[in-house]
Amino acid sequence: MAKKHRKGENTATGQRCVSAAPWHAVIAMPSESDPRCRAADSGGADDTGNKVDTVADGHQFPDRKSLMKAARTNEYCETMKPVNANTLQSGILRALLITAVLLPCTVQALTFRLDGDEVVGNTLEIQTSYEDTFVDLGHVYGLGYREMMDANPDVWPWVPGEGTDVRLPLAFVLPSQGLGGEERIVLNLAEFRLYHFIPEKNIVRAYAVGIGKQGWETPTSTATVTGVVQNPSWTPPASIRQESAARGITLPSVVPPGPDNPLGEYAVALSIPGYLFHGSNQRLGFGMRVSHGCIRLYASDIEELATSVRPGLPVNIINEPVKAGWKEGQLFLEVHPQLEEYADQPVNVEQIIADAVARRPDLVPGEGWREGWSEGWEALIDWEKVSALTSRQSGIPEAISGVSPRS
């Protein structure tokens, strides 16, 4: 699904955009549908003659840090359609091209249109600047630490280095639990990602999350949302206070709202006692196993989620390291490493593929399929590709439908 495109080629359409400023900054390119979100203008100079880049409504970013900050705030869009190269001028910022629904600029999550396909987004490749880390890039793109690690196993996450090629795993096979036409949340522990399916708006939002560490595992379960709290206080349970005391840390009985509160500014309560979706007062932990079982989201993401859910909303907490789904008549497979506590439990990849085939008998066969595919589908899967993906476990969806029969 991904291919190298140093100059910003869109993996879905083949369209190209121009490389970014010398520091290789990256931002989502706005849509023309909102007056604040016009296609970018060419870079120029400010009143002092310094090189700047102009984006959207004419706002200028004098340095990379201010751009990266804006990329994860309400100031500019993050959910975009692919931008035609003809609308771009030399010297503009490289676009993050995500095939997604056009929404107002206040949207924070990776948001995709539910159009019948089960695979959304595009995997992109960028070149890092010397000060980049996977944590920084994760904050900009809504990605978690482990998924960045899995997609780039040969890159040092804290010092990738100047000009290093890094893949952004911004494509996802949607979990089948969310494809039933009802609004629901699906949290897949194995991929450190939460999906909020909103069929009424014909969209799905995808959030990177941190989950429970070993010994404090987030449980698989079915649940419902029971309420939302803004500026929550935190009452550490006795078990956490004892654990902290063993490390010489004395926790108060109640931590009030504020910068010292580990729940952040919003908490979404679940029908599972003691478990929450919440923000954080830390920069690290997203896409990691760091909590005592609760689910941690970026500040902007938990705000959006908290203001979008309602009591009674169904929640599925699953552990599915392997997913298969359809896109444009082709079958894709996405494989993540199994969580440590499930390492000795085998995953029936062939059954997952078979279930995906059975789920979409209505699809018109795409290129590479033969007549009668629904009866002889096993011979039409590229099983060598399946084996490679299950070994690599990159978390990046790739097409597995082909004509290479299984030996």
Choose the catalytic residue: 17, 37, 105, 294.
Answer: 294
Do residues 108 and 176 lie in contact, with contact meaning Cβ atoms separated by under 8 Å?
no
Choose the catalytic residue: 24, 139, 196, 278.
Answer: 278
Do 31 and 167 lie in one domain? The reply is yes
Contacts of 158 (CB under 8 A, 6+ apart): 133, 134
Q: Is 336 a catalytic residue?
A: no
Contacts of 48 (CB under 8 A, 6+ apart): none
Is residue 85 situated within a structural domain?
Answer: yes
| Cα–Cα nearest to 143, from 176, 184, 192 | 192
Contacts of 202 (CB under 8 A, 6+ apart): 101, 113, 114, 115
Is residue 14 situated within a structural domain?
Answer: no
| Cα–Cα nearest to 194, from 204, 183, 180, 182 | 204
Do 126 and 51 lie in one domain? The reply is yes
CA angle 39, 203, 396 (to 5 degrees): 80
- Out of 277, 298, 318, a domain closes at 318
- CA-to-CA distance for 120 and 387, rounded, in angstroms? 23
DSSP alpha helix (H) spans, 123-253:
134-141, 145-151, 238-246
| 388 phi and psi angles, rounded to 5 deg | -65, -40
Q: Take residue 13 and report the two structure tokens written for it.
A: 């359409």
Do 166 and 87 lie in one domain? The reply is yes
Do 303 and 352 lie in one domain? The reply is no
- CA-to-CA distance for 231 and 316, rounded, in angstroms? 25
Is residue 367 situated within a structural domain?
Answer: yes
**Residue 256: predicted pLDDT:** 79
Do 191 and 299 lie in one domain? The reply is yes
Do 340 and 245 lie in one domain? The reply is no
Is residue 17 situated within a structural domain?
Answer: no
List, in sequence order, every residue forming a beta bridge with 27; answer none if it has no partner.
95
Is residue 357 situated within a structural domain?
Answer: yes
**Residue 142: predicted pLDDT:** 93
**Residue 66: predicted pLDDT:** 55
| 209 phi and psi angles, rounded to 5 deg | -140, 155
**Residue 216: predicted pLDDT:** 83
Please tell me the total count of domains within the chain: 3
Do residues 240 and 292 lie in contact, with contact meaning Cβ atoms separated by under 8 Å?
yes
Is residue 251 situated within a structural domain?
Answer: yes
**Residue 255: predicted pLDDT:** 77
Structural domain range at position 282:
181-318
Do 168 and 35 lie in one domain? The reply is yes
Do 53 and 123 lie in one domain? The reply is yes
Residue with tokens 């908490």: 267
| Cα–Cα nearest to 146, from 110, 186, 191, 189 | 191
CA angle 163, 74, 82 (to 5 degrees): 55
**Would you call 60 helix, strand, or coil by DSSP?**
strand
Q: Is 294 a catalytic residue?
A: yes
**Residue 12: predicted pLDDT:** 33
| 230 phi and psi angles, rounded to 5 deg | -95, 140
- For the chain (407 residues), the mean pLDDT of every run of 10, in chain order, is 36 28 28 29 32 36 48 33 29 32 43 94 94 92 94 94 95 96 97 97 96 89 95 78 80 79 88 91 86 88 95 97 94 96 92 89 53 60 94 97 51
Is residue 2 situated within a structural domain?
Answer: no
Do 79 and 151 lie in one domain? The reply is yes
The single-letter DSSP state of residue 138 is H
- CA-to-CA distance for 314 and 335, rounded, in angstroms? 25
Convert 158-180 to b/e letters by CB count within 10 Å (16 or more is b). eebeeebebbbbbbbbbbbbbbe
Is residue 11 situated within a structural domain?
Answer: no
Starting at the edge strand found earlier in the chain, the sheet holding 330-335 runs 322-327, 330-335, 398-399
> For residue 247, what is the domain's CATH number?
2.40.440.10
Do residues 302 and 72 lie in contact, with contact meaning Cβ atoms separated by under 8 Å?
no
Do 202 and 255 lie in one domain? The reply is yes
| 206 phi and psi angles, rounded to 5 deg | -120, 125
Do 311 and 326 lie in one domain? The reply is no
Do 152 and 61 lie in one domain? The reply is yes
**Residue 284: predicted pLDDT:** 82
- Out of 279, 296, 318, a domain closes at 318
Is this model's pTM higher than 0.75 or not?
Answer: no
- Out of 290, 318, 346, a domain closes at 318
The single-letter DSSP state of residue 115 is S
**Residue 237: predicted pLDDT:** 73
